[in-house]
Chain A
């Protein structure tokens, strides 16, 4: 599985791991990773440790996730982004929407 999702025991925190190229090909899997669970998690961690590349449709997917878990009120952390991936996130100024580390 190129996209893995894992809920904390209390079901409040969702961790999504993306492996390989994070592009339109992951669209379906990425959506399923957070849409399956009901009720919605309080916080989401997107782990990009094994993501090699990220394109603009991946940015779109992050926006969809943000919208799904509450938009303005959402608590999403993007972690372990490689320097290349961080550069892409930085050009689009996504640190204004997500907690990127």
Chain B
């Protein structure tokens, strides 16, 4: 009877006649046979020939079958080498010893060729199954290593991109689980040319690499537009449009964006789908929430996207605490969620802001014990303007060409006033002048301030005194959005004139609006304390620019920069 698959079989049996008979039976079934007369020989033969199956007499001189079985199993390692004990032991104790020594089956004397053939086939099936399982396990391990390596490389690349921003700034503290990115979490921060700080905490749908792929283009838009001085609204619109274009329908990115203006002491917020962020006093008391009012990025078509932001006052020392849903959604063994209430307890109990993250992580550990890899925490403190120095901008050109004698006038009306922000374009244009480059931050601030004054107080006739407190702030910006929604009449006109002066030069900026003007003398007479949030930023402009004048009843602002 030929076997389906020829195996190498070790026969260990001390009785010469039994050994002869058994070897012949197995050989006739198509297998290759090695023989041994005792346990010691069997182990030596196993090492030498590595048979696939072993037939082992239980009682043998020198070394018995039990010991031989233990040694052979140890030598075989992970591979399954089935051992069939040859025995006429019929008492239970003996059979138990065979199994405990690693035996897989028994065969009683007198030997039956038919039964032995069936047993060998059964053991061979088991052996193959085991080998397949091992092979698949190894394959999975290899794939897993491969995947981890890919993640490691992707993470290294991404870390470079993410850290090109200003997450290391003195007023930011953050904590992210090591592979949070591969759970879709994303944290970015960068300075605008005028020294405002933009922060994005995002959370892509899904897990693993698919959740991380959207991060690159999002970061690109965030850094690119922030560096050019675009505001949150423009950056959001661009990020949403880009994600909508490139991501599949079921993928999107929950995001919370902030723009901190250290000059004005305000923070602008947009939250689409992220858990509530917290506005905290210097002592850690909750002053307010940054709630989600929008659909996540990448869901709506550009026409439907809502870029409306909220502007809130934020005094020096006050903080914003942001988190990803991995925190509140951490579950315990009973699938209960950590939840917002427990988080607020931690916030309420916190005494030292430096320990807040530790306390949150500690509370999560005590609650669930299950550590999640999608936890991001971020704590941003409002600091005094002089405390933070934005990183110097690196220019890519060599600095030869530097046009110095030109002027332009730029007038915005109607539709353009609603959405278009001319400041980034103008600042970029002015950066062609090398002598102005060191002042580009100030330039950006001054232009932004003059433009928004002309638009808000001039064209839209907004009353700056509204912005006395947080409530007034909200009302002010609601009114601003409403007025922009309706037909906007009037104009804002910006004039730039550049002329050479000796080795340097001079830039003259004129911003004119069609509004009713204001009492310049009275406004300039107000102390900075009186102005606080409700001023027209005139103090700020005067502080940043050398020369600032308001003419034509407040309808024209003139500022000079010299170098």
- How distant is the Cα of A11 from the Cα of B548 in the complex, in angstroms? 72
Instruction: Report if A57-B295 is in contact (Cβ < 8 Å); known contacts: A64-B250, A67-B249.
Output: no
- Is the C-beta of A2 less than 8 angstroms from some C-beta in chain B? no
Q: Which residues of B contact A61 (CB under 8 A)?
A: 250
Interface residues of B in 220-273 (CB under 8 A from A): 249-252, 254, 272-273
Interface centre among B207, B251, B294, B295 (most CB of A within 10 A): B295
Pairwise interchain contact B292-A59, C-beta atoms closer than 8 A? no
Pairwise interchain contact A92-B254, C-beta atoms closer than 8 A? yes
Pairwise interchain contact B205-A93, C-beta atoms closer than 8 A? no
- How distant is the Cα of A57 from the Cα of B206 in the complex, in angstroms? 6
Interface residues of B in 291-305 (CB under 8 A from A): 292-296, 299, 301
- Is the C-beta of B203 less than 8 angstroms from some C-beta in chain A? yes
Pairwise interchain contact B296-A92, C-beta atoms closer than 8 A? yes
Interface residues of A in 2-48 (CB under 8 A from B): 24
Contact among B250, B294, B325 with A57 in the assembled complex (CB-CB below 8 Å): B250
Q: Which residues of B contact A91 (CB under 8 A)?
A: 254, 273-275, 292
Pairwise interchain contact A63-B250, C-beta atoms closer than 8 A? yes
Interface residues on B, range: 20 to 34
Complex: chain B residue closest to A55, CB-CB: B329
Complex: chain B residue closest to A52, CB-CB: B335
- Is the C-beta of A70 less than 8 angstroms from some C-beta in chain B? no
Q: Which residues of A contact B301 (CB under 8 A)?
A: 72
Distance (whole angstroms) from the CB of B212 to the closest CB of chain A: 14
Interface residues on A, range: 20 to 34
Distance (whole angstroms) from the CB of A38 to the closest CB of chain B: 20
Instruction: Report if A93-B272 is in contact (Cβ < 8 Å); known contacts: A24-B206, A56-B203, A56-B254.
Output: yes
Q: Which residues of B contact A93 (CB under 8 A)?
A: 272-273, 292-295
Pairwise interchain contact A97-B203, C-beta atoms closer than 8 A? no
Q: Which residues of B contact A72 (CB under 8 A)?
A: 301
Q: Which residues of A contact B252 (CB under 8 A)?
A: 59-60, 63
Q: Which residues of A contact B184 (CB under 8 A)?
A: 56
Interface residues of B in 330-368 (CB under 8 A from A): 335, 337
Q: Which residues of A contact B205 (CB under 8 A)?
A: 56-57, 59-60
Instruction: Report if A60-B250 is in contact (Cβ < 8 Å); known contacts: A92-B273, A93-B272.
Output: yes
- How distant is the Cα of A67 from the Cα of B252 in the complex, in angstroms? 14
Distance (whole angstroms) from the CB of A41 to the closest CB of chain B: 18
- How distant is the Cα of A48 from the Cα of B293 in the complex, in angstroms? 23
Distance (whole angstroms) from the CB of A89 to the closest CB of chain B: 10
Contact with A along B194-211 (1 / 0, CB 8 A): 000000000101110000
Pairwise interchain contact B275-A97, C-beta atoms closer than 8 A? no
Q: Which residues of B contact A64 (CB under 8 A)?
A: 249-250
Distance (whole angstroms) from the CB of B211 to the closest CB of chain A: 9
Interface centre among A57, A60, A67, A94 (most CB of B within 10 A): A60
- How distant is the Cα of A64 from the Cα of B325 in the complex, in angstroms? 22
Instruction: Report if A60-B292 is in contact (Cβ < 8 Å); known contacts: A91-B273, A91-B275, A93-B272.
Output: no
Q: Which residues of A contact B299 (CB under 8 A)?
A: 63, 97
- How distant is the Cα of A96 from the Cα of B304 in the complex, in angstroms? 11
Q: Which residues of A contact B207 (CB under 8 A)?
A: 24
Contact with B along A55-78 (1 / 0, CB 8 A): 111011101100100001000000
Known: A24-B207, A57-B206, A59-B205. 14 other contacts (CB 8 A): A55-B329, A56-B184, A56-B203, A56-B206, A57-B205, A60-B206, A60-B249, A61-B250, A90-B292, A91-B275, A92-B273, A92-B292, A93-B295, A94-B295
* A-B pairs, 3 with minimum CB distance: A60-B250, A92-B273, A56-B205
